[in-house]
Each structure stands twice: as structure tokens, then as C-alpha cells.
Amino acid sequence: MCGKLCRETEAAVAWCSATAAEKDYATAISGLEKFTWHGHCMYCGHCAPCTAGIDIAAVNKFRNLCPDDGPIPETVREHYRGLTHHASECVACGACENRCPFGVGIVEAMRRAAGRFGY
Ligand code: SF4
Ligand code: SF4
């Protein structure tokens, strides 16, 4: 009677006891159409740790919440200010880019974020 529903329910509940590796979606997503995902930050955090201590995913997220033109939303500006380290602290070591499964140009992203936020 409940065959399909039971299987789906069991699969959903199994998520709760899955290991961190089993819940890691980055590898699966990165294997999808490269043109769709390549170069786009998914905020997954796999590029950490940053040599300079920058929270790269957060910087990318705040930068992407800013329009290219016009004022930066005050809430975004405040969240960026609250980061311990900022994009301008990037020393362009490239270590993070080797760890990014999505091929994000992080050094360039930090440079652009520093330019947009001013530091
Ligand atoms: S830069 Fe790459 S590894 Fe880092 S959060 Fe974005 S997608 Fe993930
Ligand atoms: S390239 Fe910049 S953002 Fe990436 S690990 Fe080095 S200092 Fe951090």
C-alpha cells in the first residue's frame, strides 16, 4: 500500500543519520554541467581556510548582494564590516582556488569585493 511513500520517507529520514561526507553536495553539484556552475560561488566553504583568515564565502555572498551600481544596502555594508578579515587582506596566494570545486576566480573576486566595499 505505502511502498513508494515508505521508501521516500525512509530516504528522507536517513538524511538525519548520514555522515558529513554523505551530506556533502559539492562534489555532486560540481559534476553537473560546467557551464552552469563554473565560476559561480555556491557559498559552500570548501575553499577554506584562507591564508589571511578571510571568510571567502561570506565576502562573495555580501558582494553578490550588492548591485553593481548605486549605493550598497546598509545591512550588507554592516554585515561586511562585521567580518573579522576583509577582502583587501587577500595576499593572492591562490591556495583557496585550488580547493574550490566550482573554479571560482577567488583572487579576482576578493579584488573586486575590496573595490566595491572600499576595503
Ligand atoms: S569560492 Fe568556491 S569553494 Fe569557496 S565558497 Fe565559493 S564555491 Fe565554495
Ligand atoms: S588567495 Fe586570497 S582569499 Fe585565497 S587563500 Fe590566499 S589570501 Fe585567502
pLDDT value at residue 2? 59
| Least confident stretch, 33-37, 47-51, 85-89, 95-99 | 33-37
Give the closest residue to 51 by CA, choosing from 82, 86, 96, 88: 96
Q: Rounded mean pLDDT of 19-48? A: 79
User: Is 12 part of a structural domain of the chain?
Assistant: no
For residue 100, give the C-alpha cell.
Answer: 574550490
Number of residues that make up the chain: 119
What pLDDT band is residue 86 in, cutting at 50, 70 and 90? very high
Number of domains in the chain: 1
Mean pLDDT, the chain, whole residue set: 88
CA atoms of 37 and 70, how far apart (whole Å): 27
Query: Ligand 1: which residue has its CA nearest to atom 4?
Result: 47
pLDDT value at residue 63? 97
User: Is 2 part of a structural domain of the chain?
Assistant: no
Query: Ligand 2: which residue has its CA nearest to atom 5?
Result: 50
User: Is 36 part of a structural domain of the chain?
Assistant: yes
User: Is 82 part of a structural domain of the chain?
Assistant: yes
Domain of residue 62, residue span: 24-117
CA atoms of 107 and 69, how far apart (whole Å): 21
CA atoms of 95 and 54, how far apart (whole Å): 12
CA of 4 relative to ligand 1 center, distance in Å: 36
pLDDT value at residue 85? 98
User: Is 1 part of a structural domain of the chain?
Assistant: no
User: Is 108 part of a structural domain of the chain?
Assistant: yes
